[in-house]
Chains A and B, each alone.
Chain A
Amino acid sequence: MNKTVKDVEEALAGIEDGATIAIGGFFAAGVPRTLLRALIDKGTKNLTLACGSGPLLGAKDELNLLVQNNQIGKVIDSYSLFRSATKGAQHPFEQKVRAGEIELEIYPMGTLCEKYRMAGAGIPACFMPVGAGSLVEESVITNIEEKRQKREIRVLNGQTCILEYALKPDFALVHASSGDHEGNLCYRKTAWNFNHVMAMAARVTIAEVENLVSPGDLKSESVHTPGIFVKRVVKVQRIKFDITAL
């Protein structure tokens, strides 16, 4: 089996306007920057970017271009606004969220992890104790009022729990330090984060890898994402970037 494609353009084949795309990474670490650049070049519009914890805050140049090109319809995330209110107020992404031109749907981070994991593991929904006593218990947290669907609640072992559904993206863009031709992936340090669970979740997972190796080169017991979860692998250069404060 050979899942490698020749370039990032081929890697993104089939992504159309309106697609839901999971974006790996946690702030600056493990973000598939090269694939994001290719998505910007491709110009696909009305995208739902399904994130985990602010990969777009960690890749601000890419975020700015996506906003400038009007490519984002919606973002799903746990933390995607600038920590500083003054910085945020000036930022084009936040301005579009404030104006309702980009929909922003927010979940607790661990709940979001499980929404992806359930999608990958064939579980349609689960009851989550997280968010009880907060607005999360009442309705979906979004800046678009008519999208605030009421939550289903059940009390289990005396705990208020919220019904959370699996979240299955059409595509996932993930970043791995190493990968082989058959799609097995290994992440480096904290760049692991959401990349594995998003690779599990999506219908089509596209992995950019800094080191492309042959089957057998990765230590069999140390593979983080088995190749069965990955459809395409593309070799990219290791990009040096600054880790900037939020």
Chain B
Amino acid sequence: MSQEIEDNSYVNLGIGIPTLVSNWLEGRDVMLQSEIGMLKTGSLAEGDAIDQDLINASCQPVLEMQGTVYFDICESFAMIRGGHVDVTVMGAFQVNQSGDFASWMNPSRGLNGVGNIGGSMDLAAGAKKLYIAMEHTANNGSPKVVRDLTYPATARKKVNKIFTDLAVIEVVPEGLLLKELFPGLSVDDLQSVTEPKLLIARDLKEIEL
């Protein structure tokens, strides 16, 4: 995914798998926006470098860089909602073929209709490009790329691309276009763990590891 993010972009990485993308962005001319109120977020801090007043939006201690700036939360969400962030990467429970996704509530937790929305809906509403980074299937093996969401939606028709441990899939007006596949995996293998019928890109290639 880090290859998909162009230089000179402002990028927001959501909680969970997306934060791992930051490891691959080191040394690139990309600025990470963290919704807690920070631009030019550095890498994870360890040991003596941990500062209790300096965390990212996933509550992980991080480092400052040359030129890091801090700001108030309203200003942070003005950047997000106002369309100033170029690429947003989020995790999800499910994504469907229309680019709807679900990430904020797991109904099986039995919490009577509440969940953690956090900044997910704001990020989705303001995203110029929204990428989902997730595992291809749930722990029980059931598909997370689905025909219809069974979890409550975070936002609709917003997802541009889905990056999983098995494939890269683009959301196009006709449906889901398979662009890249894990080496050694066949299209049929992937289709068997993906609910909607996939369209196959003419230039389908292996994921570069």
> What is the interface of chain A, defined by CB distance below 8 A to chain B?
26-30, 52-54, 57-58, 78-81, 83, 85, 88-89, 94, 97-98, 100, 104, 106-111, 113-114, 117, 129-136, 141-145, 148, 177, 187-194, 196-197, 224, 240-241, 243-246
Q: A106-B116, A243-B60 given. 20 additional CB < 8 A pairs?
A: A27-B55, A27-B59, A28-B52, A54-B59, A81-B116, A89-B109, A108-B121, A108-B122, A110-B119, A113-B76, A114-B74, A129-B125, A130-B121, A134-B121, A141-B113, A189-B38, A192-B37, A193-B72, A194-B73, A245-B60
**Chain B's interface: helix, strand, loop or mixed, by majority?**
loop
Cβ–Cβ < 8 Å partners of B152 in chain A? 134-135
Chain A residue nearest to B100 (CB atoms) is A133
Cβ–Cβ < 8 Å partners of B104 in chain A? 134
Could you tell me which residues of chain B, from 121 to 173, have a CB within 8 Å of some CB in chain A? 121-122, 125, 152-157
Q: B200: shortest Cβ distance to chain A, in Å?
A: 29
Interface size of B as a range = 35 or more
Cβ–Cβ < 8 Å partners of B73 in chain A? 26, 52, 109, 113, 192-194, 196-197
Q: Which of A98, A133, A188, A191 contacts B155 (CB 8 A)?
A: A133
Q: Which of A79, A142, A177 contacts B118 (CB 8 A)?
A: A79
11 contacts between A and B (CB under 8 A): A30-B53, A52-B73, A54-B59, A79-B116, A145-B112, A145-B113, A148-B113, A189-B51, A189-B53, A190-B37, A192-B70
Asked whether B81 lies within 8 Å of A142 as measured between CB atoms, the reply is: no
Q: B32: shortest Cβ distance to chain A, in Å?
A: 13
With A135-B152, A190-B37 as known contacts, state yes or no: A243 contacts B114, CB within 8 Å. no
Chain B residue nearest to A135 (CB atoms) is B152
Complex Cα spacing A193 to B58, Å: 14
Asked whether B54 lies within 8 Å of A189 as measured between CB atoms, the reply is: yes
Cβ–Cβ < 8 Å partners of B60 in chain A? 243, 245
Q: Which of A104, A131, A194 contacts B114 (CB 8 A)?
A: A104
* Of listed A134, A224, A246, residue having the most chain B CB within 10 A: A134
Q: B146: shortest Cβ distance to chain A, in Å?
A: 16
Asked whether A117 lies within 8 Å of B74 as measured between CB atoms, the reply is: yes
Chain A residue nearest to B56 (CB atoms) is A190
Q: Which of B38, B77, B110, B122 contacts A190 (CB 8 A)?
A: B38
Cβ–Cβ < 8 Å partners of A187 in chain B? 70
With A28-B59, A80-B116 as known contacts, state yes or no: A193 contacts B111, CB within 8 Å. no
The 9 A-B pairs with the shortest beta carbon distances in the complex, nearest first, are A110-B77, A110-B122, A133-B156, A27-B59, A143-B112, A108-B121, A79-B118, A191-B53, A109-B119
